[in-house]
Structure 1
């Protein structure tokens, strides 16, 4: 019998705030508030999403916005992060970096600063209760003006050492060049934040190269299409720039037809560091543990390789050094245990 994957210590570096909500919580909160949910979020869940064209992405974003609308009170924020932390522990995740765009909730919770403070407090309480590390990545929206990103970068910089560890750039990478957001990432990097923009999901290798060259990316959200360019994979491997690969999400959005088509093995064998992620479990139907199961079942990773995936996630994280050492030792212990 192979070793159980839920006891393998790992870090989760690609999870979005609203998308981390439990489906049962979405249904319950919508019912309490009398909010109508489309069939795609109820009977037909998880929804069939193909976002490789504008219509498909619009549908994905619409469902995401509907899900966000049920989070209407601070208590909902505390609940979401409490449950997310519990789900992380169940998957063997010992460190989580959750991506938050405070502007999506600012009008609801008293402005950008008040919203981020609320989320940081909720994250800290959830971490303590579940005994798991939880940190926040403030993510700008690529479809908005770069000046909005600058504002978020300055906000994130104010909370370095108070729970914010990184700065990201999410949403449709076909809308807005990475270089347009260079100033925001310069602000973030100067403050000591990890740079984690999305790239190489809906667009190809050039998108990833721009994230690296123009934004100084330490990690790339998704990055799977680096596999289309040998020289780019060499660059990522040489510089140890991690790709946050989310297989279930790639299939859900139509980036890959099936899980076997996600080039996880190709990236791994090329030496590109990988951190498996669940992206938005609420819309894709599976959490972090399933991504590790796919590594074993679909991509043929043995226990030593799965352990190395876990190590790479820890090394690419912003976890404090003592936490990293503890998790890496835990991975070694897992691998040394009997099958």
Structure 2
């Protein structure tokens, strides 16, 4: 499992210090939001470059890049440059676009859902072509056109592309072409995860891919505090431990990005993460049943609190 922080690039916050804290706490991932049209936000790529220069181990990604305002060929060059300068610590999260009023106000083109999906698929093709070792690159699509005599720069190591999608057609696309699926908890609550996973797996299998090769990333949009449980991902660390364990063991989620208040990052990193790792390891160990022990109808982690229905 991987754990990380999803950071909204609000320029009023001490963004670099927060990123350094995440690195110091041993988090695996730092996702940085990309909403260029929002007032008071830092530029995501510039912030990524700064963060990579002042950290040593954490891997950084736009979560997710705003494709309608990031031409894919230029995006491919920027991400590969960051990867090479950081020793291979960059991933790419990519989305079709939301907040179309803001995108249009910033010079982007408003697209319908189907058009945005097709543009996203073309962008993945353009980016991978740009990172390839092919010569005489040509791409002619409905939304993007690209021609270059030589590719590059190539990333230091292959960069995974994770798609932030939620609808059935978007999941089909992720299953066909993506290296990972980023699911926000506000749009894909646990009761929708099973159907999303099924759709993703079936699309991957139809494309001749192994579904197990697709990373499952869950964006934890909640509140970590001690004021008592107020629903899914809104409660004290103990509640989060059991809810994340259920997501990992019961739903196959292998990566978590904490998107709550950065002021509670210490609690997430030092209380929640170690306990989730331990509880997941304990639940995955084979149980040894003593001879003549009575059969049980089911098991619940010792001391697990009652939870709202998820």
- Could you state the TM-score of these two structures normalised by the residue count of structure 1? 0.47
Q: Contact conserved, 1:220 with 1:242, CA < 8 A, in 2?
A: yes
SS in 1 for 2:98: coil
Mean Cα deviation higher: 285-294 or 270-279: 285-294
Residues 221-263 of structure 1 show CA distances to partners (whole Å, capped at 9, x for unaligned) of 1264432256336457833322221334499xxxx96238998
Change (3 A) 1:80 1:233: same
> What's the counterpart of residue 324 of structure 1?
none
CA distance in 1, matches of 2:165, 2:72: 16
> What's the counterpart of residue 287 of structure 1?
265
Task: Please say if 1:209 is aligned against 2:172.
Answer: yes
Query: Any gaps of 5 or more consecutive residues in structure 2?
Result: 101-111, 132-157, 205-209, 225-229, 234-238, 285-310
SS in 1 for 2:79: helix
Change (3 A) 1:276 1:102: closer
Task: Please say if 1:184 is aligned against 2:123.
Answer: yes
CA distance in 2, matches of 1:292, 1:245: 19
Q: Contact conserved, 1:248 with 1:291, CA < 8 A, in 2?
A: no
Aligned-CA RMSD value: 4.7
Which of 1 and 2 has higher RCO (CA within 8 Å, sep 6+)? Answer: 1
Task: Please say if 1:226 is aligned against 2:193.
Answer: yes
- Could you state the TM-score of these two structures normalised by the residue count of structure 2? 0.51
* Aligned 1:124-273 pairs, distance under 5 A: 124-125=53-54, 127-128=55-56, 133-138=57-62, 139-141=64-66, 144=68, 148-163=71-86, 165-170=90-95, 172=98, 176=113, 177-190=116-129, 191=131, 192-200=158-166, 204-213=167-176, 216-222=177-183, 224=188, 225-229=192-196, 231-232=198-199, 234-235=201-202, 238-249=211-222, 258-259=232-233, 268-269=248-249, 272-273=252-253
Query: Any gaps of 5 or more consecutive residues in structure 1?
Result: 1-9, 19-66, 72-78, 310-339
Change (3 A) 1:160 1:241: same
Q: CA deviation at 1:195?
A: 0.3
Q: CA deviation at 1:305?
A: 0.8
CA distance in 2, matches of 1:82, 1:96: 15
* Greater than 4 Å deviation, 4+ residue runs: 102-105, 173-176, 233-237, 260-267, 291-297, 306-309
Structure whose CA Rg is larger:
2
Change (3 A) 1:156 1:295: closer
